[in-house]
Amino acid sequence: MTRAMKCTAAVGMLAAATALAACGGGGGAPAAATGATDGGKPAGALVGGATFTYAIGADPGGLDPATNLSSAATSVFPFAYDTLVAADQDNKIVPNLAERWSITPKVARFTLRDGATCADGSPVTAGVVAKNLNYLKSPKVQYPALGTLDYEVSTAGSTVTIRFGQPVTFLLQNLEFVPIVCGSGLADRSKLQRGTSGSGPYVMSEAVPNDHYTLTLRRGYTWGPDGASTDARGLPARVVLKVVPNETTTANLLLAGDLTAAVIRGSEKSRLKAQQVPSLSKTLGITQMFFNEAAGRPTADVAVRKALTAALDRAAVAKVAAGTASPTLLAPAVNPCPPTGGGAPIASGGAAEAGKLLDAAGWVKGSDGVRAKGGKRLTVTMLGLASAGPALVSAAQYVAETWRDAGVDVKSRSLSENASIEALNNGSWDVFPINQVGVTAPSQFTPFVSGEAPPKGANWGHVENADYDRLVAKAATTTGDAATCQVFNDAERALVQRVDVVPMVALDTTWFVSKKAEFQVSPLGVIPMTIRMHEG
């Protein structure tokens, strides 16, 4: 993608970021599992020099980690880039580029390990890290990867210090997902459009847009998460990320042995399981419904938002989407503060309740069945994600038909990830009913529902929820995990009660894998340094 990051993280993140264990400064990824779970560990001996071929559902586009966090791109980045800290399978934050750190609500210090080098041989220094962090808050990017843009970065020797203008929460969790660019790509980021420039275990060796991306193993890499090294037996010599938009084609390639692994979300899961292809499933993501509340949009009216929500049978939508209805905005597996007792009440009641709400708001059905007010038809532009997979595409179509039956003139736009981001940024939309913000902590949700709208900020829905803003500010100064989580949970309820965002569908992510391979996963996807290839 070529646009600034602003809204990118929110679109199509069907592989959400790594889950957390506890509210506050600790936390980490969920216990990762072996890819070949259902089929057991491969029996053959470990082999070197093999190729791991993994299907991704869409072309990742530009490969600058600061401006692209689409699900396809985040399949690439962990192979080529390191982060300051990582998470192990026991839910602990572990060293990666930083060997130690200290954190207070407004100051964080990270001391880098010795010996880490970029793919071009240049050292990864405190200055390199500082340039990355400063680039994220630069006017052309303005991506609040640290939860805020209000920070200053300084260096002394191998130590990076971040001073925040206001208290921050979940900083370590945020930093797990900030790839550090180094070497020539840091000096000229145009090189990142079709290449990589990181200190990670693999280097991009071939990029063929809309077909495949090949990464080659680096020898001498010894500074991976918690000391992981590419000297380990069984790591693939090459990783090929093959672009396969159609899940039936993906399933056929898996059965033919032309893929090592892939994520399947739709009906093809049954066929693959019947063929005893090893698999692993986790409920990792929540889709949410977002509204554009900018002045002049029909969804600026809370009555319209409530009516659109009430019209939907969320359980039926979830069934079409091959998931379950979610009461909360973040999946428990990726939320360090899962709400106790469920989330806020969500408008319901079907077409009858929606009709009452619209009648009361002055939207009257015309002879053509479409509601109007003051001579203006109730027309909403609905975004859908064409690359989300057949189940989610069908769910979006089901939503559109339900609203049409309720008297809404729905203009449905099924777009690519890039086009969806463009639409969110330029405001040419009213509702996005099947979307997923890929965040791992409630504080990371804040930039998308608070503060400045594009182009100055990431609040593309123009949300102004005073209760939410007050509670988020309170959470930043609250001490104690339980107390902080309670405030964030209250903040989530404030969003849902005002119908700024509505939780929709909890989704299972299922990885299928060849019997010749094994790996561990996080909600972000395959963990590169855990892949092992076997004879067979």
Take residue 120 and report the two structure tokens written for it. 């071009």
Q: Return the pLDDT at 15.
A: 31
Q: Which residues, 6+ apart, have CB-to-CB distance to 274 below 8 Å?
A: none
Give the predicted TM-score (pTM) of the model: 0.76
Handedness of CA 126, 131, 134, 135 (dihedral sign): negative
Alpha helix ranges (H) inside 257-313 = 268-274, 302-311
Residue 444 burial (CB < 10 Å; 0-12/13-18/19+)?
buried
How far is residue 319's CA from residue 325's CA, in Å, rounded to a whole number? 8
* pLDDT on residue 42: 81
> Which of these, 323, 269, 319, lies nearest to 508 by C-alpha position?
323
One pLDDT digit (tens) per residue for the chain, 536 residues: 222 333 333 333 333 322 222 222 223 333 333 344 444 578 789 999 999 999 998 899 999 999 887 888 888 999 999 999 987 655 568 899 999 999 988 999 999 999 999 999 999 999 999 999 999 999 889 887 887 889 999 999 999 999 999 888 888 888 988 999 999 999 999 999 999 999 999 999 999 999 999 999 999 999 998 889 999 999 999 999 999 999 999 999 999 999 999 998 778 988 999 999 999 887 777 899 999 999 999 999 999 999 999 999 999 999 999 889 998 888 777 677 877 666 678 999 999 999 999 999 999 999 999 999 999 999 999 999 887 778 889 999 999 999 999 999 999 999 987 788 889 999 999 999 999 886 778 888 888 999 999 988 889 999 999 999 999 999 988 887 788 889 999 999 999 999 999 999 988 888 999 999 999 887 667 889 999 999 97
Domains (range + CATH), the chain: 27-278+514-533 (3.40.190.10), 283-508 (3.10.105.10)
- DSSP 3-state of 78: helix
User: Which pLDDT score is estimated for 135?
Assistant: 97
Distance CA 142, CA 308 (A): 32
| pLDDT for position 74 | 86
Calpha distance 175→79 (Å, rounded): 17
Report CA-CA distances (Å) from 332 to 167, 326, 337.
25, 10, 8
- Euclidean distance between CA atoms 134 and 153, whole angstroms: 7
CA 288 – CA 216 distance, rounded (Å): 37
Tokens of 384: 């859908």
- pLDDT confidence of residue 7: 32
Measured on CA atoms in the order 65, 69, 74, 78, is the torsion positive or negative? positive
